């Protein structure tokens, strides 16, 4: 894994001026206002199906839908949010945002940015993050406007100049359930819910230390992946997700911006771009054909794509319809990706070769297939085979 400078990172991913993206055009927000999407989803049944088939039964369905129903409620932890969501609802119940600040007269006993950085990174891990990185706040990735889905209000997002850093956290998930695709089991992870909790806890700690911070538990501040790359967590994959050395793309990202003085990390080059050029497993298996089979380009293909970013263009509309508001199981792209592997000595060695002998990428892709990775596993004996570990929710 090679550490690179921000300038080198820029050359690899950015081809021209990047206009700040508007939160209104993210897929999660378009459901609230975009009639063209309503039209395309009109005839789909609202609830995902329970079928008399291994992996699709009620016991499999409940493990996916139960935690996801809780996720929206956890959003209340992240109140007030930059887009003002939930404020009206909370006012109805007479609930004020908690006031978190240091006790009168208390002074912070850590004044070195290096020590504060160590403290914050360890605190993030304590609250459940598996990976943590810090980047200087690059305002190109902050949304130009926020969109409140409850009130349907759209307003400029004003982030004061005092916010100088972004802390990016990755919450990984286990590999075992990922093999049982395409079923509900493949999508049982609660990394998103862990991310909301972890980010909320860390936000509260930073406020209690006397610094300003804004949490982005629901992607409220800006685009997570470029910030995660600048913070040194990984690189962008063909499937449009961040690939990290330890979890591949089997993770969820949280970001917190702050005025706390911190020491930034550096972006990394793990050989992902070269590997994805040789491998198209995600593109070939994606049921909605949302993932590009072509080379990287800067041409947006929907209104949810960003200009002047050199990447495999992703059709988020098709993926969203396939998932229908994230209720249906899929995430096949995560299951088949050769970087979605357990963090064992064998796989660390394989990743070392991918990083250090990049000319052999087509061979690694073939080997991955020959060894049977990325193949769907039947769920007929799942309960016996399943040995969950704490992060294997």
Residue span 213-242 as binding mask against ligand SF4, x where in contact by CB under 6 A, dash where not: ------------------------xxx---
* Smallest gap from residue 67 Cβ to ligand SF4 (A): 18
* Smallest gap from residue 82 Cβ to ligand SF4 (A): 27
* Smallest gap from residue 276 Cβ to ligand SF4 (A): 3
- Using CB under 6 A as the binding rule, the residues of this chain from 289 to 318 that contact ligand SF4 are 290-291
C-alpha–C-alpha distance, residues 193 and 86, integer Å: 18
The residue (of 264 and 338) whose beta carbon lies closer to ligand SF4 is: 338
Residue 219, phi-psi category: left (phi > 0), alpha (psi -120 to 50), beta (remainder)? left
Radius of gyration from C-alpha coordinates of the chain: 21
Residue the block writes with tokens 């609202």: 46
* 287 scored as a contact of ligand SF4 (CB under 6 A): yes
Residue burial 340-369, b: 16+ Cβ < 10 Å; e: rest = bbeeeeebeebbeebbeeeeebeebbeebe
Of 131, 185, 197, 279, the one binding ligand SF4 (CB under 6 A) is: 279
Of 336, 350, 354, 379, the one binding ligand SF4 (CB under 6 A) is: 336
Cα angle: 256, vertex 262, 267; to 5 degrees: 75
* 319 scored as a contact of ligand SF4 (CB under 6 A): yes
- Using CB under 6 A as the binding rule, the residues of this chain from 14 to 73 that contact ligand SF4 are none
C-alpha–C-alpha distance, residues 386 and 388, integer Å: 6
CB 191 within 8 A of CB 173: yes
Nearest to 88 by CA among 148, 33, 31, 143: 148
Only segment of 7-15, 105-113, 327-335, 348-356 that touches ligand SF4 (CB under 6 A): 327-335
Residues sharing a CB contact under 8 Å with residue 180, sequence separation 6 or more, in sequence order: 55, 186, 376, 377, 378, 379, 382
The residue (of 81 and 239) whose beta carbon lies closer to ligand SF4 is: 239
For residue 326, say if its preceding peptide bond is cis, omega within 30 degrees of 0.
Answer: no
* 271 scored as a contact of ligand SF4 (CB under 6 A): no
CB 32 within 8 A of CB 151: no
C-alpha–C-alpha distance, residues 324 and 304, integer Å: 16
Q: Which residues are paired to 256 by β-bridges?
A: 167, 215
Of 190, 276, 350, 379, the one binding ligand SF4 (CB under 6 A) is: 276
C-alpha–C-alpha distance, residues 348 and 210, integer Å: 40
The residue (of 148 and 186) whose beta carbon lies closer to ligand SF4 is: 186
The residue (of 216 and 250) whose beta carbon lies closer to ligand SF4 is: 250
The residue (of 85 and 368) whose beta carbon lies closer to ligand SF4 is: 368
The residue (of 192 and 237) whose beta carbon lies closer to ligand SF4 is: 237
Integer angstrom CA distances of residue 379 from 58, 163, 180, 183, 385:
14, 48, 6, 8, 9
* 338 scored as a contact of ligand SF4 (CB under 6 A): yes
Of 339, 347, 350, 354, the one binding ligand SF4 (CB under 6 A) is: 339
C-alpha–C-alpha distance, residues 131 and 232, integer Å: 10
* Smallest gap from residue 333 Cβ to ligand SF4 (A): 3
The residue (of 262 and 330) whose beta carbon lies closer to ligand SF4 is: 330
The residue (of 9 and 275) whose beta carbon lies closer to ligand SF4 is: 275
Only segment of 160-168, 299-307, 330-338, 341-349 that touches ligand SF4 (CB under 6 A): 330-338
* 191 scored as a contact of ligand SF4 (CB under 6 A): no
The residue (of 202 and 319) whose beta carbon lies closer to ligand SF4 is: 319
- Residues in contact with ligand SF4 by CB under 6 A are 237-239, 275-276, 279-282, 286-288, 290-291, 319, 322, 330-333, 336-339
């Amino acid at each position: 894994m090679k550490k690179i400078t921000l300038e080198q990172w820029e050359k690899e991913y950015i081809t021209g001026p990047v206009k700040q993206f508007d939160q209104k055009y993210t897929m999660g927000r378009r459901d609230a206002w975009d009639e063209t999407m309503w039209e395309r989803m009109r005839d789909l049944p609202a609830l995902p199906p329970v079928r008399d088939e291994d992996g699709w039964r009620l016991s499999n369905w409940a493990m996916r839908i139960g935690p996801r129903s809780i996720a929206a409620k956890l959003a209340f932890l992240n109140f007030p949010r930059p887009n003002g969501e939930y404020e009206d609802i909370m006012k109805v119940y007479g609930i004020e945002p908690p006031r978190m600040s240091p006790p009168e007269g208390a002074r912070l006993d850590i004044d070195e940015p290096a020590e504060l950085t160590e403290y914050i990174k360890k605190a993030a891990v304590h609250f459940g993050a598996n990976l943590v990185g810090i980047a200087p706040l690059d305002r190109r990735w902050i949304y130009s406007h926020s969109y409140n889905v409850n009130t349907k209000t759209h307003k400029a997002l004003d982030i004061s100049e005092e916010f100088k850093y972004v802390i990016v956290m990755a919450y990984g998930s286990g590999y075992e359930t990922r093999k049982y695709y395409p079923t509900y089991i493949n999508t049982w992870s609660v990394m998103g819910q862990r991310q909301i909790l972890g980010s909320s806890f860390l936000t509260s700690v930073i406020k209690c230390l006397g610094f300003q911070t804004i949490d982005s538990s629901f992607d409220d501040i800006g685009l997570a992946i470029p910030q995660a790359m600048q913070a040194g967590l990984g690189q962008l994959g063909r499937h449009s997700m961040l690939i990290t050395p330890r979890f591949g793309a089997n993770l969820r990202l949280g970001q917190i911006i702050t005025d706390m003085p911190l020491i930034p990390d550096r972006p990394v080059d793990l050989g992902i771009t070269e590997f994805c050029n040789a491998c198209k497993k995600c593109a070939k298996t994606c049921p909605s054909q949302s993932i590009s089979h072509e080379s990287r380009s800067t041409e947006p293909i929907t209104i949810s794509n960003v200009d002047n970013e050199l990447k495999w263009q992703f059709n988020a509309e098709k993926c969203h319809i396939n998932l229908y508001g994230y209720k249906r199981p899929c995430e096949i792209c995560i299951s088949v990706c050769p970087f979605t592997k357990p963090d064992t000595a064998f796989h660390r060695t394989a990743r070392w070769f991918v990083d250090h002998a990049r000319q052999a990428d087509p061979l690694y892709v073939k080997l991955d297939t020959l060894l049977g990775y990325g193949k769907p596993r039947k769920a007929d004996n799942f309960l016996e085979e399943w040995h969950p570990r704490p992060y294997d929710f």
